[in-house]
Structure 1
């Protein structure tokens, strides 16, 4: 790693300029804003992976404050999120962490920074983005239901449809969490190849068939299932919202575990690889069975049994 302080300052100034250019493109230019947003963490990630943590933190803070000079105060939240993501990615690469760790740390950083911005908007500025968005969505949804006889040729039961919307509204936290981690995957997959070309060592994912979630996921699922079976919370209560959102996240995780187990079986018995694609597609309509497979895979050492059978 470079130890020359002057070189670090010069490269830091260049990195800061590149970050601010990408930030301006992400904030002001409509056609390239999404591409610029995804690549904006790249310069800080490179600097954080190359230099010491203290230097990377200083540059990240400077980038956030300097963003006001190229825009107005409204650009500050985006600069904060992108700078934090870049620092977290680079720090994980500097420490030679696994790609799974990189994904989890980036997703959590993105989730926490967005949560902090949400709290600032709601507490300090008295702007509830969530309520405003849900209000507009509900008005649009009700308007669609009222027009359904003309659009679909038949009347849709309004009360039932509104109950569906209420359930969707309560599951917003889980949807946001899943979306944030999908965004983290996109940012990582786009930026790591570039960082690799810049001589930064980057990790690789282990084979999907070797995915093993922590066994604690199974215990969380059993706790949530027990609450739903024996102490079902009332709709709309805080406990109901928590249980609903935890259930959605756990379903997604256990579905991934079940698909991974199927992939492992296909590899173990040397079946054609295209069966993995078919199994993954069929996992969507058969998600209940796939979740059960994921539970069995976590709870019992089935892979050792499959391994023994495949070697006979």
Structure 2
């Protein structure tokens, strides 16, 4: 009886997955939001009936995605079904943080695999295509700047943009990691109210203000900075690894800094909108460097205890 029910519900969820997939691919604005909801069918099946029915439903959804959305549909179906199954597994164990982390890993692995397949079997290097597009845009920007004059200030600006563009071409691993983490977190935000509609209680994450990284994070950050100062030929593996490691560690330390700001505002009973505005402003401005310093001090000297005593 249970097996029959699992099959029936799985068939319904596969149909729902196919419909959402079609809408996501052919309606641009609505589709962007619905793409974040695509892990839900596999997630629901896994939570209700276990990992094996979830895997079976995910495997069935792959050819259905190929039929409804061709290769584009299949490319989306692989990561979202994997993420849905993993999140459902951890939700069954009341582990929301692990659910987000495992989904992020699933997205990272899937993106790397899809890039590898596109290069090896389709002859399409998406990274090279993006780099070429960036270079063409820069050449167009350079020609426009030269039309308005070629003074020293304009030349310096062009050289700065050129250097930033060169660095950006090595940062795809960092972009993939951050994109995967953000996508997994958004999946969680969307899944939580939907799953509660199905009487599935998902425990909440700890408040962002309570995030506290281990002290070893500082030493790892310092080691990364020191290694990044070592001479390395641009374009080498070591250069690429250290550049991405520096960016990732800086981002992680900044997250700790923002967490402290949220903690401070909560302890001082300041309006919630203040730390939110600080977060947005910090991400978009050079204030990020100050936030990193704040994160290092918070980890190393336990600023929260001092704030707690003064409150």
TM over 0.5: yes
For the aligned residue pairs, the C-alpha RMSD in angstroms reads 2.3
Partner of residue 303, structure 2: 302
Distance across 2 between alignment mates of 1:305 and 1:214: 18
Task: Give the TM-score normalised by the residue count of structure 2.
Answer: 0.88
Separation of aligned partners in 2, 1:38 and 1:279: 26
Q: Give the whole-Å Cα distance in 2 for the aligned partners of 1:79 and 1:293.
A: 40
Q: Please report how far the alpha carbon of residue 115 of structure 1 lies from its aligned counterpart in structure 2 after TM superposition.
A: 1.0
Question: Which residue does 2:178 correspond to in 1?
Answer: 178
User: Normalized against structure 1, the TM-score is what?
Assistant: 0.88
Counterpart in the other structure of 1:287: 288
Contact 2:228/2:246, CA 8 A, preserved across alignment: no
The CA deviation string for residues 263-284 of structure 1, in whole angstroms up to 9 with x for no partner, is 3233334455554346435644
Asked if residue 64 in structure 1 is aligned to residue 65 in structure 2, the reply is no
Residues 1:23 and 2:3 aligned together: no
Write the distance in 2 (CA, Å) between the matches of 1:301 and 1:68: 52
Deviates more, 1:259-268 or 1:275-284: 275-284
Give 5+ residue unaligned stretches, structure 2: none
Instruction: Say which of 99, 103, 107 aligns to 1:106.
Output: 103
1:183 CA displacement? 2.2
Change in Cα spacing, 1:263 to 1:31, as seen in structure 2 (3 Å) is: closer
Counterpart of 2:264 in structure 1 is: 265
Distance verdict in 2 for CA 1:307–1:30, change over 3 Å: closer
In structure 2, relative to structure 1, the CA distance for the partners of 1:288 and 1:69 (3 Å cut) is closer
Change (3 A) 1:62 1:164: same
**1:29 positional shift:** 3.6
Change (3 A) 1:25 1:260: same
2:88 aligned to 87, 90, 106, which one?
90
- 1:160 to partner: Cα distance: 4.1
| Partner residue, 1:133 | 130
Does 2:119 align with 1:122?
A: yes
Report the Cα distance in structure 1 between the residues aligned to 2:216 and 2:44, rounded to whole angstroms: 34
Distance 1:297 1:12, change over 3 A: same
Question: Secondary structure of 1:138's match?
Answer: helix
Q: Is contact 2:23–2:30 with CA below 8 Å preserved after alignment?
A: yes
Q: Is the 8 A contact 2:88 2:99 kept in 1?
A: no
Deviates more, 1:188-197 or 1:27-36: 27-36
Tell me how far 1:15 sits from its aligned partner. 0.7
Distance 1:233-1:196 versus aligned 2 partners, 3 A rule: same
Alignment partner of 1:276: what SS? Answer: helix
